[in-house]
Amino acid sequence: MTVVVAPEELQPAHAEMIKATLPLVGAHIDAITSSFYKRLFAAHPALLRNLFNRGNQAQGAQQRALAASIATFATHLVDPNLPHPAELLSRIGHKHASLGVTADQYPIVHEHLFAAIVEVLGAETVTAEVAEAWDRVYWIMANTLIDMERGLYEQAGVPAGDVYRRAQVTARVDDPSGAVLVSVASDLDFGAGQYVSVGVTLPDGARQLRQYSLVNKPGDGQLTFAVKPAGEVSEWIRDNLRVGDLLDVTVPFGDLPAPTPGVPLVLISAGIGITPMIGILEALPADTHVQVLHADRSEQTHPLRERQRELVDALPNATLQLWYEDLMSLDGVQLPEDAEVYLCGNDGFVRAVRDQLLARGVTRVHSELFSPNDWLLS
């Protein structure tokens, strides 16, 4: 569920200053965010060890995501022809809530971000007026997220940031594709397509977090998620986790909307992007008209292949189409004009399929990405 908050606006003088300086900030945003993270982790090294994804940091993915979010937010804020950027933040809010982010962390980000801006652009460029305008942009963005996250915590019935629960592993299944299905005992409720964050302590003592989509039907007394062994947390789970172990798992979050009753459904995925689609299939009413499209390198690498087939076969009005080795092409695939589409996979796949859908006039597309810049596809 998306929490709606009243959007804040920029004052006219601030908006004009942002318009004038946005090209300059945009041209240097990668350097600004790189400096920001260096400053942040130098002052608060525990954040890199215990909150931020070290793999994304090393690859620069997190830096690019922050750069894109700031620039895009500011652009929407000053352009009356674009929707208010508060609408873009739902996915970030859910991701933050799943990580236990709290309001007191935003001033820390502000301190080091603005120090980085001055470092990169120079004090002679970042005048008091420029700083005031960008400060306003930051706090509109931050306050929107803070209010949204507060609402999400209230909906979950937990104090702000108190999202982790110690749960016992009740089952582990090694899928033929190499993915690992993990089930933990839990009476938590969740919606189809939602995810949990999982925290593990690695051999070097760092507590790293990853998010995994839930693939079981709500209400069966457990949370089941599929892990693709790529990255240090996922590989640790594959190599070490056993039935009976205790694992830190969060309250479920995620802003994929529930399918609209009576509307034809199309589920499109690639690779491990199949997981939220499995969760949606598990919860569909028997009379749903649904087309399932999936692409993978091969039948052997196709995660949850048998379960996907079982779920499709159990629905009288469901079809399944597969692409192996070849890129997914929607040419020749008949889609209902009023279809509601769910799309998940890596960045390149989602963008390519999304372009195909838009070219055909399909606009009701809900996208999910397992990467730091996923919110840009909201």
3-state secondary structure of 306: helix
Please check whether residue 163 is in contact with residue 100, taking contact to mean a CB–CB distance below 8 angstroms. yes
Please check whether residue 121 is in contact with residue 73, taking contact to mean a CB–CB distance below 8 angstroms. no
- Look up tokens 């908050």; give the residue: 5
CA–CA distance from 236 to each of 172, 232, 292 (Å)?
14, 6, 32
Q: Return d(Cα 89, Cα 53) in angstroms, integer.
A: 20
Q: Return d(Cα 192, Cα 176) in angstroms, integer.
A: 24
Q: Which listed residue (37, 149, 212, 340) is catalytic?
A: 149
Short-list 133, 105, 176, 145, CA closest to 24: 133
At residue 165, φ and ψ (nearest 5 deg) are -130, 140
Catalytic-residue membership of 119: no
Residues in the chain: 378
Q: Return d(Cα 62, Cα 142) in angstroms, integer.
A: 17
Catalytic-residue membership of 195: no
- Name the amino acid, one letter, at 185: A
Distance of CA 67 to the CA centre of its chain: 16
Q: Which listed residue (8, 16, 87, 106) is catalytic?
A: 106
Q: Return d(Cα 116, Cα 126) in angstroms, integer.
A: 11
**Could you list the active site residues?**
106, 149
